[in-house]
Structure 1
Amino acid sequence: MSEAGRMEADPRSRIDPPPLGRGTRIAYGSGAIANGVKNVAFTAYLMFFYNQVIGAPAAIVSGAIALTLIVDAVFDPALGRWSDSIRTRWGRRHPFIYASALPTALCFALVWFPPAGLSDMRMGLWIFVTAMLTRIAISAFEIASQAMAAELTDRYAERTRLFALRYWFLYLGQYGFSAFSLAVFFAATPAFPRGQLNPDSYTGFALLGSALILAAMLACGLGTHRRIPYLRQAEVRTTRRGAGVHLGEMLTAVRNRAFLAIFGFGVLKFTAIGLYSAVALYFHTYLFDLNARQLAVLVLDALLAATVAAPLAPIMSNRLGKRGSSMIFAIVGVSLSLAPVILTYLGLFLPAGDPWLVPLLFAFGAVSGAAIAISLINTSSMLADVVEDHAVRTGRHEAGLFFAASSFMQQCSTALGIALSGVLLSVAGVPSRGAGVAVPDAAIRHLIEFYVPTSALLWLAGCLILLAYPITRRSHEENVGLLRARDRGAEIPAE
């Protein structure tokens, strides 16, 4: 019998697996580069590309993007349930990681090459179909790989360190790719002083993004393949379960109090993040009058933020608890991120063209980004802790379902934020630039008036909801102890 077969036959041998090696941790974290590339491309550039470069109306573009998120979100629970239930010689996570790599890369590339001569509505349909396929394909990878984190380790602090590494690679993919693209692909030309408005720039952007996605997904799968024998396998079912049983078990899982607190926080948080991602390039381009090279410098502040946040997140988790650190740093981060826009609106910030403008924006971005990253890292680690809390109550280890539900929430909320950005852009009077229409200063001021209070309210309300999260370090360790005793054969009643 193979090593994987022996481990699957004796689940107790997984109670004390060998420590995670550095190479395995790095391989696991590097998979997040794929989602980082997709995230920054779809949130920061997709709306701008089709609205300001191609010239499609903002309402149609934002509506098409929002619909892709909603359709993807519908698929997420089924993908998570499937990942929890499948039994193969490669376990229940790796088949999804390998199968999704090539489709994601190909569909991502197609998004940026719309056929010429499409009407506005057909352009919206092209955005919807290509972006939807990309999102569904990468969701299969993300759900499986994030669920695997809860199985790689059950240790409270080590789990936070693992998610910190994953978020560092997420930021590397997201902002490293963006910075490189701004500096190389979107460099200024005589015809396009603002290179992000040059249609030809998006060819290299699309092809490099596609290649990075493929490489990162394969690296994650291959680099963690040797851990398959130590991952929890799907339980053997002696009877077939109908749709009603599946639905009932899913509803039981998502009614978990700890999960609901994270879910509520996430809905408002990712709505705010989706809104920010869609309007940030408008502020940088039209409020601060930055060119592509200046934008590339600013994008690097997120890499600095992630580098600072990765080691700080576990420290803050130990000192303040995961819930406390998530709330505190979310409030600090969003306050600092809004400050330059508010101060510019009030005439109290450095004017466009000032030589100290970019360094000051960089400082604000690095500090606010680090704070928000600490909050995101600890919230993800909190979600992994929900898996054991649910398993103690029900006897079922359903990490895939929880991370799928989280992905569902994230997709729908980001869709809401992007759709909201389309509304705010339209109401503020920001025109499409396809016909060369200038964007008036008054429109950007109106956009600030709508954006700032909306973003602040979303973050604050989300933090209040997170107060209901009940799991502490002590209760998590008690849950882990109970589950290990159950794996060794002790009878532990499920609630």
Structure 2
Amino acid sequence: MRSPETVAPPLSRGNRLAYGFGSIADGIKSTAFSTYLLLYFNQVLGVSAAIVSTAIALTLVVDAIADPIIGRVSDRTRSRMGRRHPYIYGAAIPTALFFAFVWFPPAGLSDWSMGVWIFAFASLARLAMSTYQVPANALGSELTQDYAERTRLYGLRYWFAYAGTFAFAAFALKFFFVATPEFPKGQLNPAGYVPFALTGAGLMLVSILVCGWGTRSRIPFIRQADDRPVVPGLMAHLREMGSAFRNRAFLTIFGFAIFKWTAIGVYGATSLYFGTYVYQLTSGQLALLTLDGFLAVCIALPLAPRFTQWWGKRNAALYLAMMGVLLGTFPLVLVYFDLFFAPGHPLLLPTLLLVGAIYGAMVAVSLMTASSMLADVVEDDAVRSGGHNAGIYFSAASFAGQCASGLGILAAGIVLETSRFPAGIDPAKVTGAMTDSLILHYVPMVVGLWAVGCAIIAFYPITEAKHLANLERLRAREAEANNQTIQDAPIGAPVR
């Protein structure tokens, strides 16, 4: 822990930008796994949707074991680089390599063997990403304790995640998934997935390294591991993890995360299906449509602190999430009742772009606010436990997000199977009955998941006033401990 005389200077613009830039890696991995992985193996390679979605969902077992361990180890690490940066640097190359391997299965594998390949390398990629992402997310709570600045800092992180992710997706659709006479829908062209995978891996590597290098100047001012004895063994680990689930504020965020990320996972895994088969968009139009995500996060970044100020963090996360999902699914409801623009109509793409930008901005503000709320839980727990367990809390939240994303892909596979949407079908042979069945199974599931999550987050108890009170209690406790250390020091001993 830094000495009380060491006052951290304000965060520089470079610190903020580097920390935000680091989220591009997770954004690329998330959008690739949630949006393209199911489509690639199901519609391009012809593997059963049930096998693909199940294989991806089973990677949750790895997350369930690894994420809490990474968080606990990170919390207890003491080094010249602090307790977060060793893992940020160490995870960079493995993350890029394992991500790339996912997309290159050997030729001639059976469907079952394909499922094993997906599970093995997607698990390794998730494990490597968690080794970076859990400490990096915990680092954000240690860069600043300010209630409002945390929302801005995590907002910037989400801005880079959205901007980088959708810029990469648009670039891929424009230059990698180019329509050919053989593949008029470029996103179904298998050749495009080679540069897609390699470029994504390279960008992830750069993103992680920039995050570590750009925040290294803050290491002397970031809390080191608490001076608590490390109790080895599985039971000690489980007790520390269990302490997080005794915190009511964390439980509400955890429950919200499970349901919201499951819903987002369903959306991500099916968005190309709707764009390709329901709206019948070309790869160029889909590339243009990805701009809605960039517009959304540009709208959300300045608005997130304002909504926090107006409504408080809890209400901003709750209200905007629910309003956003209702708006986002409305075009599909209109399609189901034959009230929306037909494929090829000149107003179809602009309307989808506008709706997507507004819906995405609402959801983005909700996500930014929820991350800031989680950072506030760290001090709330410290008042009770006496330890700053940011790694444990952010690892549990990371697991919730990855778990729910996998559940979302599994749920998307269920939607595709129960709606009886065929694998490897020619877009020209898709009927209205097929798309109506897909919409009928998708919309109630997504709206229902968001509704349950919002009902849970309504019980979040930390307000700005309570957060400030927690900080004051912690400062008083640290001042008392430092005074006691000085009093107990031998005469003539150096004070440090």
Deviations 1:297-318 (A, max 9, x none): 1111100100110110011001
Q: 1:399 aligns with which of 390, 393, 396?
A: 390
Report the TM-score when normalising by structure 1.
Answer: 0.95
Number of corresponding residues: 483
* 2:167 matches 1:176: yes
Deviation for aligned residue 1:238: 4.5
In the TM superposition, what is the alpha-carbon distance from 1:415 to its structure 2 partner? 1.6
Once the 2 structures are TM-superposed, how far is the Cα of residue 437 of structure 1 from its aligned partner?
Answer: 9.4
**Inter-partner Cα distance in structure 1 for 2:62 and 2:230:** 31
Question: Residue in 2 aligned with 1:155?
Answer: 146
Residue 374 (str. 1) matches residue 365 (str. 2): yes
Amino acid at match of 1:86: T
Trace 1:202-213 onto structure 2 (pairs within 5 A): 202-213=193-204
The 2-side partners of 1:201 and 1:247 are apart by 44
Question: What's the offset of the Cα at 1:172?
Answer: 1.6
Q: State the AA in 1 paired with 2:84.
A: R
Query: In the alignment, is the contact (CA less than 8 A) between 2:88 and 2:132 conserved in 1?
Result: yes
- Unmatched segments (≥5 aa) in structure 2: 484-496
Q: CA deviation at 1:12?
A: 1.8
Residue equivalent to 1:295: 286
Offset at 1:141? Answer: 0.7
- Is 1:115 the counterpart of 2:114? The answer is no
User: Which residue pairs with 1:12 in the alignment?
Assistant: 4
C-alpha displacement of 1:161:
0.3
Question: What SS does the corresponding residue of 1:317 show, helix, strand or coil?
Answer: helix
Q: Which moved more, 1:401-410 or 1:479-488?
A: 479-488
* Displacement after TM superposition at 1:74 (Å): 2.2
Query: Quick check: 1:249 aligned with 2:240?
Result: yes
SS at match of 1:12: coil
Q: What's the CA shift string for 1:79-102, capped at 9, x where partnerless?
A: 100110111111100001000000
1:349 aligned residue (321, 325, 340): 340
Contact 1:93 1:148 in 2 (8 A): yes
Q: 1:62 aligns with which of 46, 53, 61?
A: 53
Rounded Cα–Cα distance in structure 2 between residues aligned with 1:379 and 1:284: 29
Specify the code of the residue in structure 2 equivalent to 1:470.
P
Q: Does 1:359 align with 2:350?
A: yes
- The correspondence for 2:76, drawn from 69, 81, 85, is 85
1:233 equivalent in alignment to 2:224: yes
Match of 2:96 in 1: 105
Q: Which residue of 2 aligns with 1:196?
A: 187
Trace 1:34-45 onto structure 2 (pairs within 5 A): 34-45=25-36
Counterpart Cα distance in 2 of 1:68 and 1:281: 22
- The structural deviation recorded for 1:408 is 1.3
Given that 1:74 and 1:408 are in contact with CA atoms closer than 8 Å, whether structure 2 keeps it comes out as no
Is the contact made by 2:296 and 2:364 (CA closer than 8 Å) also made in structure 1?
A: yes
1:240 CA displacement: 4.1
Which of residues 11, 17, 37 in structure 2 aligns to 1:46? 37
What is the letter of the counterpart of residue 243 of structure 1? Answer: L
1:474 aligns with 2:479: no
CA RMSD of aligned residues (A): 1.6
Give, in whole Å, the separation in 2 of the partners of 1:137 and 1:462: 28
Aligned to 1:460: 451
Match of 1:335 in 2: 326
2:409 is the alignment partner of 1:427: no
Shift of 1:118: 0.5
Matched, 1:258 2:249: yes
- Aligned match for 1:441, one of 414, 425, 432: 432
Alpha-carbon shift at residue 268 of structure 1 (Å) = 1.1
| Counterpart Cα distance in 2 of 1:246 and 1:372 | 34
1:80-130 Cα deviation digits (max 9, x unpaired): 001101111111000010000000001111111111000111111111111
Residues 436 and 316 of structure 1, relative CA distance in 2, 3 Å threshold: closer
**C-alpha distance in structure 2 between counterparts of 1:221 and 1:239, whole Å:** 26
8 Å Cα contact 2:277/2:427 also seen in 1:
no
1:491, distance to aligned residue in structure 2 (A): 9.3
| Displacement after TM superposition at 1:13 (Å) | 3.7
TM-score by length of 2: 0.95
Q: Secondary structure at the residue paired with 1:162? A: helix
**Equivalent in 363, 381, 384 of residue 390 of structure 1:** 381
- Cα gap change, 1:406/1:282 in structure 2, threshold over 3 Å: closer, same or farther? same
State the shift of 1:138 in Å.
0.5
**Cα distance in 2 for residues equivalent to 1:437 and 1:489:** 73
**Which stretches in structure 1 are left out of the alignment for 5+ residues?**
1-7
Listed one character per residue, the Cα deviations across residues 44-79 of structure 1 (whole Å, up to 9, x for unaligned) are 000000000011010000011111133223211111
What is the Cα deviation at residue 176 of structure 1?
1.1
How many Å separate the matches in 2 of 1:246 and 1:93? Answer: 19
The answer as to whether partners of 1:254 and 1:402 remain within 8 angstroms in 2 is no
C-alpha separation in 1, matches of 2:411 and 2:159: 28
CA shift for structure 1 position 239: 6.1
- 1:148 offset after TM fit, Å? 0.3
Shift of 1:425: 0.4
CA distance, structure 1, for counterparts of residue 284 and residue 306 of structure 2: 35
CA contact (8 A) 2:76 2:230 kept: no
**SS of the counterpart of 2:4?**
helix
**Distance apart, 1:243 and its partner CA:** 3.1
